[in-house]
């Protein structure tokens, strides 16, 4: 069963094994009590949206998660739930600046509404698990790059945009300095991480229910060097730097890098290189669901 705000691609909806429910999660209370064995909770209002619309963030991230958890609790069959948390749970506070690398043991101190919502949901899931209502675990995703399709409202959207748009032949702006660094992961490696966390036993998880997924700690300038190496100088030239103080201010309070030792103990590793991430995106663009013209820039 897929519950989403919008309908999935037609080929997925047509699969007889798939049931689709569209609309806000807050309208899906009966669905949550259906007695599922496994739940992947990916839905979220993203960072930029939450900063611009406080009520939207509360409804989409906190209220819907609470409704989901209560539905699963009342169903009574203790399903296994994987929650897509985020590296955004980490941030500096006045007394404790962020280390160069956040670890599984770094104290979360989110500096955005989005990161705060993710951390609150981690604690809710841990408590529902402690009470025996669910078997929950939270995977802290690194920024997923390169995402297909159009930009979204995330402050991190440009990490995909500075690769995706030039490959499509579209000029784009990078709103932060080239020396900004941040941990990121390809879509496929992120999915691999979510599945591995789902399949892991509580013993293998090592007690705590929230862990970092692996990522590459990348400098923006090096991302663009990899783009030029894969796609050429003409594609790279479609990216210009133009600082956006709102976005740059949000990103400045995010992790500059991360480690994932507990995920490594489950057999998970980062992508081989950022060049490999770009090459994978180019290869994936021929698959169903990717927009036409996604690689138009390679032909210009």
What positions carry a catalytic annotation?
114
Chain centroid to CA 44: 9
Q: How far apart are CA 203 and CA 205, in angstroms?
A: 5
What's the token pair of residue 88?
């955004």
Nearest to 208 by CA among 197, 219, 194, 218: 197
CA-CA distances (angstroms) from residue 39 to 3, 80, 90, 136, 228?
11, 6, 25, 9, 40
* Cα-based distances in Å from 264 to 184, 240, 245, 257, 261: 16, 36, 36, 16, 5
- Answer yes or no: are the C-beta atoms of 214 and 173 closer than 8 Å: no
Mapped onto helix, strand or coil, the DSSP state of residue 24 is coil
- Going by C-alpha positions, the residue among 83, 121, 108, 118 that lies closest to residue 258 is 108
Which is nearest to 90 in space by CA: 71, 74, 110?
A: 110
């Amino acid at each position: 069963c897929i519950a989403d705000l919008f309908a999935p691609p037609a080929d997925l909806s047509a699969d007889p094994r798939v049931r689709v429910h569209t609309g806000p999660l807050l309208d899906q209370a009966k669905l949550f009590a259906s007695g599922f064995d496994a739940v992947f909770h990916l839905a979220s209002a993203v960072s930029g949206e939450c900063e611009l619309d406080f009520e939207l963030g509360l409804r989409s991230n906190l209220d819907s998660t609470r409704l989901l958890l209560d539905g699963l609790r009342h169903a009574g069959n203790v399903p296994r739930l994987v929650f897509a948390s985020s590296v955004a749970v980490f941030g500096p506070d006045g007394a404790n600046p962020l280390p160069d690398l956040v670890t599984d043991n770094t104290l979360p101190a989110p500096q955005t509404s989005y990161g705060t919502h993710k951390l609150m949901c981690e604690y809710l899931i841990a408590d529902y698990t402690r009470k025996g209502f669910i078997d929950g675990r939270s995977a802290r995703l690194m920024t997923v790059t390169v995402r297909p399709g159009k930009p979204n409202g995330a402050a991190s959207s440009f990490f995909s945009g500075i690769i995706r748009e030039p490959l499509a032949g579209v000029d784009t702006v990078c709103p932060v300095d080239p020396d900004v660094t941040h941990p990121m992961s390809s879509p496929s490696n992120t999915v691999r991480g979510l599945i591995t966390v789902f399949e892991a036993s509580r013993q293998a998880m090592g007690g705590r229910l929230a862990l970092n997924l692996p990522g590459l700690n990348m400098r923006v300038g090096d991302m663009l060097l990899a783009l030029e190496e894969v796609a050429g100088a003409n594609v790279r030239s479609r990216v210009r730097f133009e600082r956006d103080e709102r976005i740059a201010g949000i990103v400045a309070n995010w992790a500059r890098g991360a480690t994932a030792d507990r995920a490594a103990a489950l057999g998970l590793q980062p992508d081989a290189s950022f060049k490999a991430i770009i090459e994978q995106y180019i290869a994936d663009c021929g698959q169903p669901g990717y927009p036409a013209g996604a690689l138009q820039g390679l032909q210009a």
